[in-house]
């Protein structure tokens, strides 16, 4: 069978495209073609046996056609060669998740985009996401830190000064002794969250900066570069402490501008389960202070109520505008996106409008906003163009058999499919009951729950009788036409059967 690889999209990649950090695909380099000696190659036949023998291992799930994987390959190999000299050696491995025989592994580890890198601990019993750099030196430093203790002891004031970085979140446990249930629970939390935060523990609270005299008894202190700067917890139930740390590590209002120090907090903002309110405006505008003040007041009002708040600078937000289908002349604007993909929009906002509009949204009085390209004035090519505003009439209400391609303009697999899809459309153009169509899934909102578009291209067939099937066959003219004829005939038979009943 021909390759059915698709460019996978994860929520993280969507977020990275918004903040402009995703790299362009690149071709294979001469360095990548050299034989690899240090990265261990695993597959379905040896994966679990190999992992079970190691306390710590890093594994990349990749696809040979993925440009990001190609870019990572020489850096990953260089890091593996350096880490192999550690005592004991630290192992980097890889799995070709595009291979049919390895797809069960990819499913087991939740691989939805390439490359996906996982850290496996204690023979694979603990699995964590790799959240470090993707260049050799950064990989080495991150892996070495991840392979060490989950929490490091702070013994001196110099240790504390070095550990507490004013630009990132760090967490320190203060204990009278490094034993007992509370200390054990703290180390369990550190092990669970170590890929997101750095943890330390100390006997003497006076070594710590920022209000050290306020600590009495076992305490977990979270240092952060925003809001109240220091948060203390006396909660040592593992699940409750994890929740408190995660909630406190998101700014009341996440700032998104060109400062890369803010990007980790933007990533965390998009990875929360909250609804996401995003206010975009020109940070050089005269009334920026009024917007900031009113927006923060609203964020305070809804703290802990299932909605997060981000303030984005227009200059830095071009990716967001493209993703949401917004225009610069609409600012100041606020958009809210829910976890099920619904969007709500208010343009030409005034500071005093923020509180009332968010209240209307929470009360269910705001209609969803749908991103759509303009309806084509001329649509006479063999493959018809569908946009979000015509999807209902063109596909669902047409009474015809429709093969619909969801594509991205930059997708190489989509470009390769385009002439084949044209041939299918031309072959069937005299059949009035069949339509071949396409929709730019990056520029138009797709109905949630109807189409499962996780990569490009994705093809769905909607029969005249309303059956919806995903096409996952070979991408040849003959196979696609055969699929259409088979499923159209089947739909007609079903309709006939209904009439007889």
pLDDT digits (tens, 9 = 90+) for 385-429: 999 999 999 999 999 999 999 999 988 899 999 999 999 999 999
Q: What is the mean pLDDT of residues 278-282?
A: 95
Residue 23 has pLDDT above 50, yes or no: no
Return the H-helix or E-strand segment holding 438. Answer: strand 434-440
SS3 for 284-295, per residue?
CCCCHHHHHHHH
| Ordered domains of the chain (ranges, CATH) | 7-147 (3.40.30.10), 151-248 (3.40.30.10), 254-362 (3.40.30.10), 384-500 (3.40.30.10)
- Residue 363 binned pLDDT confidence (cut-offs 50, 70, 90): very high
Residues 24-42, mean pLDDT to the nearest whole number: 57
Residues 222-228, mean pLDDT to the nearest whole number: 92
Helix, coil or strand: residue 412 = helix
CA dihedral of 302, 308, 313, 319, whole degrees rounded to 10: -150
- The first and second tokens of residue 62, run together, are 């990749």
Give the pLDDT of residue 326: 87
pLDDT digits over 130-185, tens only? 988 999 999 999 999 999 999 999 999 999 999 998 888 999 999 999 999 999 99
Q: Could you tell me the end-to-end alpha-carbon distance of the chain, in angstroms, rounded to an integer?
A: 40
Percent of the chain with pLDDT over 70: 89
My answer on whether omega of the bond before 88 falls inside 30° of 0, hence cis, is yes
- pLDDT for the residue numbered 20: 54
User: Active-site residues: which are they?
Assistant: 66, 69, 411, 414
Neighbours of 70 (CB within 10 A): 19
Give the pLDDT mean for 234-255: 93
pLDDT at 295 over 80: yes
Q: Is 33 exposed, middle or buried (0-12, 13-18, 19+ CB in 10 A)?
A: exposed
Q: What is the pLDDT of residues 321-342, one digit of tens each?
A: 888 888 899 999 999 999 877 8
Q: What's the whole-number average pLDDT of the chain?
A: 87
Q: Among 52-56, 214-218, 355-359, which stretch is predicted with the lowest mean pLDDT? A: 214-218
The pLDDT value given to residue 212: 58
pTM of the full structure: 0.66
- Can you give the pLDDT at residue 332? 95
And the tokens for 359? Answer: 């209240």
């Amino acid at each position: 069978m021909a390759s059915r690889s698709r460019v996978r999209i994860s929520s993280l990649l969507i977020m990275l495209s918004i903040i402009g950090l995703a790299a362009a695909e690149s071709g294979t380099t001469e360095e990548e073609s050299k034989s690899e000696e240090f990265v261990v190659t695993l597959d379905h036949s040896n994966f679990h046996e190999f992992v079970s023998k190691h306390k710590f291992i890093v594994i990349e799930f990749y696809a040979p056609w993925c440009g990001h994987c190609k870019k990572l390959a020489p850096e990953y190999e260089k890091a593996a060669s350096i880490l192999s000299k550690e005592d004991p050696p630290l192992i980097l491995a890889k799995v070709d998740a595009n291979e049919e025989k390895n797809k069960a592994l990819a499913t087991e580890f939740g691989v939805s985009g390439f490359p996906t890198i996982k850290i496996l601990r204690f023979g694979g019993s603990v699995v964590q996401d790799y959240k470090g750099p993707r260049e050799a030196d950064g990989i080495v430093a991150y892996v070495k830190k991840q392979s060490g203790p989950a929490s490091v002891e702070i013994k001196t004031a110099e240790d504390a000064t070095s550990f507490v970085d004013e630009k990132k979140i760090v967490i320190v446990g203060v204990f009278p002794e490094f034993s007992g249930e509370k200390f054990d629970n703290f180390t369990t939390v550190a092990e669970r969250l170590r890929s997101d935060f750095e943890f330390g523990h100390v006997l003497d609270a006076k070594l710590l900066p920022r209000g050290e005299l306020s600590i009495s008894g076992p305490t977990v202190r979270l240092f952060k570069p925003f809001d109240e700067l220091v948060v203390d917890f006396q909660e040592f139930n593992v699940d409750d402490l994890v929740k408190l740390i995660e909630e406190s590590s998101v700014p009341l209002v996440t700032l998104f501008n060109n400062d890369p120090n803010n990007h980790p907090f933007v990533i965390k903002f998009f990875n929360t389960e909250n609804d996401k309110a995003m206010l975009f405006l020109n940070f050089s505008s005269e009334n920026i202070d009024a917007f900031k003040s009113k927006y923060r007041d609203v964020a305070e009002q809804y703290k802990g109520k299932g909605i997060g708040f981000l303030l984005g600078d227009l200059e830095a937000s071009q990716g967001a505008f493209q993703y949401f289908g917004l225009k610069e002349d609409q600012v100041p604007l606020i958009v809210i996106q829910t976890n099920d993909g619904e969007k709500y929009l208010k343009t030409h906002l005034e500071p005093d409008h923020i509180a009332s509009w968010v209240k209307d949204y929470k009360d269910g009085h705001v209609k969803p906003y749908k991103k759509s390209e303009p309806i084509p004035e001329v649509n006479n090519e063999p493959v018809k163009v569908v946009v979000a505003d015509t999807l209902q009439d063109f596909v669902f209400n047409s009474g015809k058999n429709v093969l619909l391609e969801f594509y991205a303009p930059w997708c190489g697999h989509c470009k390769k499919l385009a002439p084949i899809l044209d041939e299918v459309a031309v072959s069937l153009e005299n059949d009035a009951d069949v339509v071949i169509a396409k929709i730019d899934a990056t520029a138009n909102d797709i109905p949630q729950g109807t189409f499962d578009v996780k990569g490009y291209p994705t093809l769905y067939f909607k029969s005249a009788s309303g059956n919806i099937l995903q096409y996952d066959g070979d991408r040849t003219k003959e196979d696609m036409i055969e699929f259409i004829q088979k499923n159209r005939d089947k739909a007609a038979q079903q309709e006939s059967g209904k009439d007889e009943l």
